[in-house]
């Protein structure tokens, strides 16, 4: 019998932190961020890495290697679009834990704002993926 780990934490303070960090994500996913050569490729990479991180500890998700493959594909697009490895890695390192908190807020906490941000980011990443050979065939 396999026992899956539960959510990362369950405290009300953690939920508040999720809401605050989702607000930060909204700022990054705004039109101003669209002028950044790392956006949205590096953010989509961070999104999929955060999703994979949360799947490892969630009782609600199963880890899937295709999540990290998607992250690597989006990272390749960011690199091709002119981001240096250091810039991309720094951006992903900053965004990845925010993505985990967004997943926790949406999947475990039922947070509306987290769900809306999740839906917005998945839409952005799907639309972006269609236009690039590295990501075009992602499922």
Kindly state whether residue 136 falls inside one of the protein's structural domains: no
pTM: 0.79
**What was the pLDDT predicted at 37?**
78
Kindly state whether residue 59 falls inside one of the protein's structural domains: yes
Tell me if 106 sits within 8 A of 114, measured CB to CB: yes
**What was the pLDDT predicted at 12?**
56
Find, among 35, 33, 7, 27, the residue nearest to 106 by Cα: 7
**What was the pLDDT predicted at 131?**
96
Q: Output the CA–CA distances (angstroms, integers) from residue 101 to 97, 118, 138, in the order listed.
A: 6, 11, 24
* 32 phi, psi to nearest 5 deg: -60, -35
Kindly state whether residue 81 falls inside one of the protein's structural domains: yes
Domain count, the chain: 1
Kindly state whether residue 138 falls inside one of the protein's structural domains: no
**What was the pLDDT predicted at 23?**
56
Kindly state whether residue 64 falls inside one of the protein's structural domains: yes
Kindly state whether residue 3 falls inside one of the protein's structural domains: no
Domain that includes residue 79, residue range: 12-129
**What was the pLDDT predicted at 139?**
78
pLDDT tens per residue across all 139 residues of the chain: 333 444 444 455 555 565 555 555 555 554 445 567 789 999 999 999 999 999 999 998 999 999 999 999 999 999 999 999 999 999 999 999 999 999 999 998 999 999 999 999 999 999 999 999 999 999 7
Kindly state whether residue 1 falls inside one of the protein's structural domains: no
């Amino acid at each position: 019998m396999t026992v899956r780990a539960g959510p990362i934490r369950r405290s009300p303070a953690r939920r508040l932190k999720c809401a605050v960090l989702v607000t930060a994500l909204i700022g990054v996913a705004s039109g101003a961020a669209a002028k950044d050569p790392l956006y949205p490729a590096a953010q989509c990479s961070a999104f999929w890495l955060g999703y994979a991180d949360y799947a490892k500890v969630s009782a609600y998700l199963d880890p899937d290697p295709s999540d990290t493959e998607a992250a690597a594909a989006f990272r390749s697009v960011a690199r091709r679009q002119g981001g240096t490895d250091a810039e991309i890695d720094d951006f992903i390192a900053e965004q990845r834990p925010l993505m985990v908190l967004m997943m926790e807020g949406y999947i475990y906490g039922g947070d509306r704002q987290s769900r809306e941000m999740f839906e917005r980011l998945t839409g952005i990443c799907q639309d972006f993926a269609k236009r690039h050979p590295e990501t075009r065939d992602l499922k």
